[in-house]
Amino acid sequence: MFRTLVLATLLGLLCATVDARPFTARDLVTLERVSEPRLSPDGTRLVFVQRSVDVDANKSSFALYETTANGTAPRRLTAAGSNANSPHWSADGKALYFLSNRTGSSQIWRLDATGEARQVTRFPVDVDSFTLAADGNHLAFAAQVDPSCDTLSCTADHAAQRAATKASGTLYTRLFARHWDTWMDSTRAQLFVATLGPEGSVQTEPVRVSRGLDADVPSKPFGDDSEYSFSPNARMIYFSARIAGTTEAWSTNFDLYAAPSDGSRAPTPLTAANLAWDTAPVPSADGRHLYYLAMAKPAHEADRFRIMELDLNTHVAREVAPAWDRSAAALSLAADGHTLYALADDEGVRPLFAIDVASGRVQRVVAGGNVTDYTRAAGITVVVRDALTAPADLYRVDAGVATALTHVNATRLSGVEMGEPEEFHFKGWNGDTVRGYVVKPVGYVAGQRYPVAFLIHGGPQGSWLDDFHYRWNPQTYAGAGFAVVAIDFHGSTGYGQAFTDAISGHWGDRPLEDLQKGWAAAQAQFPFLAADRACALGASYGGYMVYWMAGVWQKPWKCFVDHDGVFDTRFMYYATEELWFEETENSGTQFEHPANYERFNPLNHVADWSVPMLVVQGARDYRVTPDQGVAAFTALQRRGIPSEFLHFPDENHWVLKPQNSVQWHDAVEAWLKRWTAP
């Protein structure tokens, strides 16, 4: 693991020069971001999405770029002034399909080897995501439609009628009433199949293959085209869906369905026997098997995703790698059908893995850093990878060795110095080994002591990875002169399911013990940490822990920063949208098990609060609702504790707008410096 951080440091040193300056939040928000790499079928062309930021306009834009697997200079494929994303190669590799809003609506476009891009769809509703069939004649796409409508134009007509209505109220009869950052309307995400004409355009009304299902396909709020796929002959389409009914807000029972691509009959469930989450269908090339990801625990979002193989003839399912105690993501299948590929958190890093279908043997394809996406074709593997000291770029992987193909931020980071990270381990709760890391401040001088930003991750089933985070990035604190300490307490992912599950029902004791022991271990191992000048910061569950620490572990801290944290666990149950999370973490509903919700309720310890606190809250956060932050600030003010409240009326659980991000970092850094000044 130490080698991983050494790799990250070496990558970061490439950005430093003799006249180095610290990395700042303004650097962070202006960085180019690469994603969605797609190799052409013959491996000769590599297309990817690049995100750029216009800080003055306070918005981002997305464009397609092309390079090769040999790392030639990227060239822009799509025009400025509109967004382009979701690239998909045609099966013959002669055309590239993508989404663009250049005509004012999100539609599918096609770019041939020569010529200008042509619009493929002209639907009266936006296309949210899509995929292509291997036969070259079909595409599947998702769109928000009125379930009562038979045509897309009907949905558009209903939307126009609603917009013209003077009354603004919406009557709800079941949950979800709101989800993530959006109030629900009368539409649902539905899956359609369309036939492509000889010029690659859609000229007829598409068929709704998810018809009759009271479900969003793909799922909300973050579902995408990984949740549906065509059979090799394009006669069937497989997708994941959760039936809403009256239980959607407390159910994670997604099933896989099979439907004829022509819509000739209703979808058929394939995984009804499993009452937990089934998703990400990947058919084998011969059409005999369906590979997918499945959890085993109902109403649980943090159970590990197992890799499953379903025999489509016998309907018998088996787990491919039952001994691999990691949660898989981004599943794909090699062309020969013998090897599966997946990403997974693994002890502080996120590698790409290869899994042998027959034996279940698992190997790392590339180690180190954080792989966020990958593409494979013609024996070539390309990944998107970042690290603690390096934002994401494209890398080609050969025999485990990663070679950079892009350097999209080289100019922006020229002359910028990053803080040096180092990993450490200690014995935490139950005697288990727990991992943490420190990041030295920029300009570190041996023998000096530095104020500390003690970061607490959210989830809580998450991890501090060797990654370049765009919201909670240790380098922004290191650049401001702080040492950083971060602990992967019990509940973190990448250490086995038992380690992850250890937090459920124990939000306030086991992770707290890890944080306390980790803080002590860090001080013992890194004498440059000024323990008397330290502040603790966290968001979501990390924010919960900050509120909890304010009542039960105040002594070491000069200040706290709490972003969208849970202040009252009792009210959290009734205000949040995804109830399955609360019910799993607290072993039932609040009205049936009130003691479980009171056991570690920060509200009950407000009388013991004394440490100055900055509270940050997004008004469009429906996961941890705005009242939580307002209530905590009220408690601080009423008790006379130095406190500030930063409110974002246009942000959700995250701060996403560039100028808001800069404001957030400015406020947080000013708060830390105020209370840790010598």
**Confidence at residue 201, expressed as pLDDT on a 0 to 100 scale:** 87
Residues of the chain scoring pLDDT < 70: 1-18
Mapped onto helix, strand or coil, the DSSP state of residue 174 is: coil
Is residue 214 within 8 A of residue 244, CB to CB? The reply is yes
Q: Is the peptide bond before 567 cis (omega within 30 degrees of 0)?
A: no
**Confidence at residue 113, expressed as pLDDT on a 0 to 100 scale:** 80
Q: What sign for the dihedral angle of Cα 357, 358, 361, 365?
A: negative
Location of structure tokens 């009628």: 161
| Rounded Cα gap, residues 674 and 273, in angstroms | 57
Beta strands 228-230; 207-208: pairing state: unpaired
Instruction: Please report the DSSP string for 367-421 in residue order.
Output: -SSEEEEEEEETTEEEEEEEETTEEEEEEEEETTEEEE---TTTTTTTTEE-PPE
**Confidence at residue 204, expressed as pLDDT on a 0 to 100 scale:** 84
**Confidence at residue 36, expressed as pLDDT on a 0 to 100 scale:** 98
* Six token digits for residue 190: 């539905």
| Rounded Cα gap, residues 35 and 216, in angstroms | 25
Whole-structure pTM value:
0.95
Amino acid at 84: A
Tens digits of per-residue pLDDT, 405-422? Answer: 999 999 999 999 999 999
Tens digits of per-residue pLDDT, 617-667? Answer: 999 999 999 999 999 999 999 999 999 999 999 999 999 999 999 999 999
CATH of domain 416-570+605-676: 3.40.50.1820
> Which letter does DSSP use for residue 654 in this model?
S
**Confidence at residue 11, expressed as pLDDT on a 0 to 100 scale:** 47
3-state helix, strand, coil in the chain (%, to 5): 20, 35, 45
**Confidence at residue 12, expressed as pLDDT on a 0 to 100 scale:** 45
| Rounded Cα gap, residues 330 and 226, in angstroms | 8
**Confidence at residue 200, expressed as pLDDT on a 0 to 100 scale:** 83
**Confidence at residue 4, expressed as pLDDT on a 0 to 100 scale:** 40
Location of structure tokens 């919700």: 597
Helix/strand/coil (H/E/C) assignment for every residue in 492-537? CCCCCHHHHHCCCCCCCCHHHHHHHHHHHHHHHHCCCEEEEEEEEE
